[in-house]
Every structure is written in structure tokens, then in C-alpha cells.
Amino acid sequence: MRQQARQPFSGLHIGSYLLSWKIALRELRGGLRGFYVFVACIALGVAAIAAVGSLTRSLNDSIANQGQVLLGGDVALSRVHQRASPEERQELKTFGATSEIATLRSMARLTDRSAQTLIEIKAVDQIYPLYGALRTDQNITLPLPVMTALVDTILLQRLGLKPGDQVRIGTGIVTLLGTLQNEPDRLSSRNVFGPRVLMSLATLDALGLIQPGSLIRWRYRIQFKDQNANLTGMTSRIENEFRSKGFLVRNRSNPASGVSQGISRLGKFLVLVGLTALLIGGVGVANSVHAFVAQKRSIIATFKCVGGTNRMIFQIYFAQVLIIALIGIAVGLFLGGVLPVLLLSFYASALPFDLVLTPQISELVAASLYGLLVAILFMLWPLMRTRDISAQNLFRDDVSGEAASITLFDLLSLFAVGLVLAVFTVLSAELPWVAFYFCAGLSALFLLFIAYGYGLKKLASYLPRYRTPSFMLARANLAGPNSLIRTIVLSLGLGLSLLVALGLIDASLRAQLESGLPQKAPDYFFIDIKQDQLESFRDKIQASAPQAKLNIAPMLRGRIVSLNGIPTEQIDAPNEAKWVLRGDRGITYDDTKPPGANLTEGAWWDENHQGDNLVSFEASSGKALGLKIGDTVSVNILGRDITAKIANFRTVKWESFAINFVMIFSPNALAGAPFNMLATLKLGENTPLSQEGQFVQNIAQGFPNITTIRVRDALEAVSGIYESILFAIRMAGSIMLIAGTLVLAGALATAHRKRIYDAAIFKTLGATRYRIVSSHMLEYGTLACATALLAIAMGSVTAWAIVTFVLDLPFHFSLAISIQTVIFTCVLVILLGAFGTWRTLSMKTASALIKH
């Protein structure tokens, strides 16, 4: 008895999901063939995000875990200019053992004064270090004997010295006992401009460098008596006690807040770049799934013939592609886990602390989620097309072709996945508003690139039909149904745009630093000129370099403690002005408006002004902090709070490297405060290097306490840090380009499978190999140039916006970078294309025709 046929309208139930997974697994027996690019695209993006996330988290965890060692104590206090008084030191000791350290910049000179270099002195007491251990090459132990020092190897190299030799520092001669391998607390007192020289406080005392007003930072590290004491509570007590005395207080929970924040921010930025690489890889995912669905047309049609519904078929292929995506994610997580270990094996010794790599589950989960969401976002559209595959395919070639049917549900599904991805990105970002703009900008760029690709394809179809066969063939490929335009523009466009933008930002910065600076900026800074040395210093300069332009200003360091009576720790300053309130700022006073200063609001005070203390505030920071004329600013200088009214706002060109201060006080405000002078010197045009050296030596001989900083050297030191960051960003940008290349390689491989048949027909009709090759090269060249032009345009606009509005510098367009981009893109596209063309031509015509 035949089973009664069911009503054909019965719906699907939950078992259909299990069935679709069962059938999907059967179908996957065919292996991953055709999915290598898919897996690679997802794996690359996930690996980049997982590696960056794990590394940054491990770096910050390591810093936090080694807080005591890196900070040098449980709590650290620091104050510029003024050493803690015996009473203050006594009070500190009530919290635990207290170590005293002084850091300052000075000059080390050969004993015959023939050469000198800038150094960063660190003078320590008998109990340093409280935590961790100092490592030296010669196994020298602390405390050091008086008039001896340990130095960075680089100092020996610069001055041509060896351990045991002597140098002049200040007014004394110091014997260099050996070289430093590692200071445990290096991270909390970084030496940017010169090599480290470690000595005892007794030695520093003997060098004559400790003078009233000298730029010395006094640091006090406390080792709690009770190691289980409440850290927050103890820190608050110390802060309440010492903050008003001008001390900055930090504790071991955040030993290097700037460094940790920098690492986090750079990490989060690199995660966004990794996400972009993943999104570019998404184009490869879409291409792979599209090709996969096309390849499965007859099976899908068969399913439909034997009763498979559209929904069931969608589920079957969704499950299959999801399994492939999970494989890609697994590969990515593995690579993302291995990469930091590899990096650590090369660079661990360069880190100023021990990096402990631990599995960062949250980062790996985040990377997996990114991979999954991007894979779903890009596989949905081609999988929705299974609905349009007709079962008629089994009987005949479709007469009308399969038009893509788009339903509101399709669009809502795509939008929903995109939205979840965007929300996840924004919520997991360090700066959510940056991530929001990133998502919005990237979506806009994707749409723009799609529109550009569409427009180019349309344009190609309008090209005149010249009689040149190569041109005709190239035009047909560009404008035809399997055109590569959109894929190439999308896959390479974003990565190239980023690299062009980075290149142009770099070029603008370099143009400013290298060519723009020497014209206006001083050549030397001199710090710690004592007031009684001023006249003789002027005379010496006049005698040594009569053409030189000398600019001198009093200089103190002080920290803003309140604005309009509100303590700074209660002020939520915008990001662009946070630096003004954080730490010490250089402070000066002047009777008259400095030449070149431009007042935007208010007026300068009269000469010999008496009465209220007045201050001139830098305009953009002042506005960002919401200050206005008449508001009060309290600054702690040398342990004393000085309050002044804002008399005017003035613009400062920081990049001029002239004597620039956020705050210039009226002279009455700082009357009686001990201070030294700061000087800038601009040598005459084309001063030879030998003369410059001689001049510096003359100064050194007369004024051993004065520190000379060559602007060019300082810039090189800063640009070293900048180069490292740029390198990290370039590396991340390269990942985008690798993702793009993978996508492109996949798309070309698919295209060439179709072109083998075309080429066979062309050859049958009499086309020579040259003809086919030249048509392909013409096509790829056009595609590459079109993509490069878009990348140059987008990269230039991005770079211009960043240079003009963020860096506030003049934008320099670089033709060289543009030409490099065009050449690079052409070489990449043509090389990848040529590989496919070679395969096309090497296929035997007869077998290609038969196979088809």
C-alpha cells in the first residue's frame, strides 16, 4: 500500500536544521578544494587580530604584574627642581623604606674636552633598587664608590671610551666602571635623548650640578612595611599629604601609565587595521562562496527536484560554508597564538621588562567573533543566490539567465549582521568614537569602491570598438559578465589607500622636520644657564659665533594644580588638552610680548606690572579646557602654589622649536623664585660641521654645568620612536595588502578557469599566443592603473585631512609615492595575472574544448 502523500504545504520544523548539517557534512567529503583562498582570507585577518590583541594584552599584563619592579617601589613620588626636605623624607619613611633618586640631563666630556655628548644621569642612594636587580656586564654591585659610574654601552662608543676610562661631568671627573645591561625601573624613567649614566647621589653632589633652579627630577620610591597594606588607601594617604607640595604620585598598579595607554591605543588601532584586512578578505570569502554556489548549481537543482526547499538548501550550504569559516578561524587562532611567541623570540631582549606571554582568552574570542561575523556577512549574499538557481538547469541551459532576486528580508539580514559587527567593534574599542568613525568611514569607502568598480565597468562598455584584436579582447573582458574590475578595486583599493595615506603623512612630517625646520628652528638648546653666568655666556657666544642668533628666557618647571579653583584631578579634560594638566610644564615670565607671538584674545600686561598675577595661556589648549579671560590658573612651582589670572590667549607654533611655553607669567608672579635660563641658538647659514663642533666645545669649556642639546640629534631620537610606530602601522597595512593579494589571486584563478575555454576558442579561430597575452596584459594594466589612481586619490584625501586637521601641518603631496603606487600595483596585478595567463596558454586547445 502506497503511503498517503502529505499535504505539500506542511512547514519545516526544527529537525530540518539537523538534517541540513547532516547533508552538509556529507557534501564536505569533497574536501576544501576551491576554499583555500576563503580559509586563507579568514585565517589572515583572525591571526592579525588575535596576535595584536594577545600581544598588547600580554604586554600590559606583564607591566602590571611587574609593577613594583618597573616602578621601583610600591608607591613613587616625583618633583622637579626641589629635593624633598629632611622633614618630608622623614614623613615618607613612616610608610616604609624610602629610596631617593635624582634624574637630570647633562653633558659628558672627554677629560681633554675634545668631545662631548648629552647624557641622562640617574643618581641613586644606598638602598636602590628596592625591587628587582640591576644587571651590569662586569657584575658590578651597588652601591657604587664615589666619583664612579655605570653607563650605557652607547656612551662608550660615542666618546671612544672603554671601562676604566674617565669623563668630565659637571665640575668633576668620573671613572666609568662598566656598562649597564638592565635597570629594573627603566620604564618609569625613560632616557630618550642620551645614554644613561648611573651614579651615586654622593657623586652627583660632588659634580656641582645641583643648583637652585636646576632641572633635576627628584624621585622617591617607597617599599611598604606591610606588603599586604591596602594599596589604594595608602596611595590616597600619600597623595593627600604630598600632592599639595608639588609631588606627582603613582603606585605599582600602573607603573607606566603613558606606556600602557600607548600600547593599548596602538593595539586597538592595529586591531582595527586587522579588521579592515579581514573585511578585505571578506571580498575573497564572497568570491569563493559565489564560485562554490556556481559549481554546485546542478546539485542544488537536483535537491530542488527531489523535494529540497529553498530554506533547506540555504541551510545546507550555510552549514558547509560556516564549517569552512570555522576552519579558517581555527587556523587564524593558531597563527595568532604562534606569532607573538615568534616575535618574542626575536625582540624579547629589546623590551625594558620581562614579557610573559599568556593565552589571552578574551582576545582570542574577540578575534574569532570578528572572523565569524565577517565570514557570515560576506557569505550571506552569494548563499542567498541559491534561491535563484532553477531546477531547470538539469534539463537545459537557462534561456533567460538567473536574475538575482532581492527581498527585503535579504537586505535586513545583511544589515543586521553588519550592524552587529559594527556594534561589537565600537563596544570593544579603546576609543569608541574613533571606532564608530572607522566603521562609518569603512562602510562609506566600501560603497564608494563598489560604485567606482561599477562605474569603471560601465565606462569600459562604452569604449569604442577599435579594430585592434588585443584591445577588443581586453575590452570584452573588462566590460563582460566575468569582469575583474570590481574585485580588484575592492581587494587592493583599501590596502593601497592606507599605504598611500601613510606614505604621504610620513612625507609631510619629514618635509616639515627635515626641510622646513632648519630654515627657522634653532640649532641648539642650552639649559640650566645660571643667572650669574648669563653675561659671560652671551659674550662667549658673541665671540665664538658672531652671526648666531641667541634667544634667552627664564625657565622653571611647574604643574597646574587647579583651574578656577577646581583641582585638576577633578577636571575631565578633552584628549587634546590632557597633556597640559598631566605632569610638569615649562614655565617662564616676560615683561613684553615675545616676538612672533600672536594674541588671539586679551592684551599683554604693562611693563613692570604690579598687582594681580597675570598669565598668558596658549590659545588652543586654553579653549579646549574651556578657559576664558579672567579665569584663574594655579601652578605649583617649587612646592608653592602660584595663582594668576588669564590676561590673554596666544597662538604657539610648537613645530617651530623656538622657546615656546603654554604659560607665560607676568614677572611679579614669579618674583623671588630661583630659576635658571633656557637659551636657543640659531647659527649662521651654512655653518660647517667642524666649526659647529668647535663652538660647542668652547661653550663646554667655559660652562661645565650647562647642558647642550643639538636640535637635530633630539629630533633623530624622537623620530626613532616615530619610526617604530610607523613601522608597526606599515606592517599592519601590509597585512591588508596581503589580504587583498589573496583575494585577487583567488579571483584571477576563478577567472582563468573560464578564460581557458575562451582562449581555446580564440586559438581555434586563429589567435596567436602574443595576441592573447597582449590582451590580458592590456586588461591587467588598465585594472591596475584604475585601482592605483583611486588609491592615490583616497590616500591623498585621508592624508591631507590628518596632516591638516590633526597634525596641523602643511600637506605635501609626493609624486614619487604616487608613481611608486602605480608601479607596485601594475607589477602585482600583472604578475598574478601573468601566472594565470601562462596556465591558460599552456593548456592544450583540444583538451580545453573537450573538458568544457
Partner 1 sequence: MLKSPSLDAAVISLQDVNVTLSSLAGAVDILKSITLDVHEGESLSITGPSGSGKTTLLMVMAGLERITSGVIRVCDAELTTLNEDQLALLRGQNIGIVFQSFHLVPTMTALENVMLPLEFLDRKDSLEQAREALAKVQLSHRHDHFPAQLSGGERQRVALARAIVPKPKLLLADEPTGNLDGATGQQIIDLMFDLHGSQGSTLVLITHDTKLASLCQRQIQIEDGRFQDMAPLEPVDEVGL
Applying CB under 8 A, the residues found at the interface with partner 1 are: 2-3, 5-6, 8-10, 13, 15-16, 19, 22-23, 26-30, 298-299, 301-312, 387, 390-392, 394-396, 399-400
State which residue, 20 or 99, has the beta carbon closest to partner 1.
20
State which residue, 333 or 389, has the beta carbon closest to partner 1.
389
User: What does the block give as the cell for 65?
Assistant: 604584574
State which residue, 173 or 299, has the beta carbon closest to partner 1.
299
C-beta of 482: minimal distance to partner 1 in Å?
Answer: 17
User: What does the block give as the cell for 364?
Assistant: 582570542
State which residue, 16 or 148, has the beta carbon closest to partner 1.
16
Question: At 740, which amino acid appears?
Answer: G
- DSSP 8-state symbol, 317: H
At residue 571, the 3 state secondary structure works out as: coil
Cβ–Cβ under 8 Å, residues 457 and 483: yes
CA neighbor of 326 nearest in space, from 358, 382, 368: 368
C-beta of 22: minimal distance to partner 1 in Å?
Answer: 8
d(CA 454, CA 371): 27
State which residue, 395 or 813, has the beta carbon closest to partner 1.
395
C-beta of 302: minimal distance to partner 1 in Å?
Answer: 5
State which residue, 8 or 672, has the beta carbon closest to partner 1.
8
How many Cα neighbours within 13 Å face the side chain of 288?
Answer: 31
d(CA 128, CA 142): 8
State which residue, 144 or 321, has the beta carbon closest to partner 1.
321
**Could you tell me which residues are beta bridge partners of residue 104?**
121
C-beta of 438: minimal distance to partner 1 in Å?
Answer: 41
Compute, in degrees rounded to 10, the torsion defined by CA atoms 523, 525, 530, 535. Answer: 20
At residue 189, the 3 state secondary structure works out as: coil
C-beta of 416: minimal distance to partner 1 in Å?
Answer: 22
C-beta of 775: minimal distance to partner 1 in Å?
Answer: 25
Query: What are the backbone angles phi and psi of residue 615, rounded to the nearest 5°?
Result: -145, 145
C-beta of 384: minimal distance to partner 1 in Å?
Answer: 14
State which residue, 19 or 343, has the beta carbon closest to partner 1.
19
- Per the document, the length of the chain is 852
d(CA 317, CA 315): 6
State which residue, 388 or 601, has the beta carbon closest to partner 1.
388
d(CA 36, CA 34): 6
State which residue, 186 or 296, has the beta carbon closest to partner 1.
296
d(CA 68, CA 63): 9
State which residue, 119 or 324, has the beta carbon closest to partner 1.
324
How many Cα neighbours within 13 Å face the side chain of 773?
Answer: 10
Maximum Cα–Cα distance across the chain: 121
C-beta of 1: minimal distance to partner 1 in Å?
Answer: 9
Burial of residue 503 (CB within 10 Å: 0-12, 13-18, 19+) is buried
**Could you tell me which residues are beta bridge partners of residue 124?**
101, 200
User: What does the block give as the cell for 164?
Assistant: 676604566
Compute, in degrees rounded to 10, the torsion defined by CA atoms 279, 283, 286, 288. Answer: -120
Query: What are the backbone angles phi and psi of residue 494, rounded to the nearest 5°?
Result: -65, -50
C-beta of 289: minimal distance to partner 1 in Å?
Answer: 17
Query: What are the backbone angles phi and psi of residue 490, rounded to the nearest 5°?
Result: -70, -40
CB neighbours of residue 647 within 10 Å: 23
C-beta of 413: minimal distance to partner 1 in Å?
Answer: 18
Per-residue CA distances from 404 to 327, 382, 389, 407, 671 (Å) = 29, 10, 9, 10, 81
User: What does the block give as the cell for 540?
Assistant: 662667549
Compute the chain's Rg from CA coordinates. Answer: 34
C-beta of 304: minimal distance to partner 1 in Å?
Answer: 6
Cβ–Cβ under 8 Å, residues 74 and 224: yes
C-beta of 312: minimal distance to partner 1 in Å?
Answer: 6
C-beta of 851: minimal distance to partner 1 in Å?
Answer: 16
- DSSP 8-state symbol, 168: E
State which residue, 158 or 297, has the beta carbon closest to partner 1.
297
State which residue, 309 or 598, has the beta carbon closest to partner 1.
309
State which residue, 29 or 467, has the beta carbon closest to partner 1.
29
d(CA 254, CA 247): 17
**Could you tell me which residues are beta bridge partners of residue 825?**
none
State which residue, 26 or 851, has the beta carbon closest to partner 1.
26
C-beta of 296: minimal distance to partner 1 in Å?
Answer: 9
d(CA 290, CA 381): 9
- H helix or E strand, kind and range, residue 555: strand 549-563
State which residue, 394 or 550, has the beta carbon closest to partner 1.
394
C-beta of 478: minimal distance to partner 1 in Å?
Answer: 21
- H helix or E strand, kind and range, residue 679: strand 676-682
d(CA 142, CA 145): 8
Per-residue CA distances from 260 to 57, 79, 217, 266, 633 (Å) = 10, 22, 22, 10, 30
C-beta of 20: minimal distance to partner 1 in Å?
Answer: 10
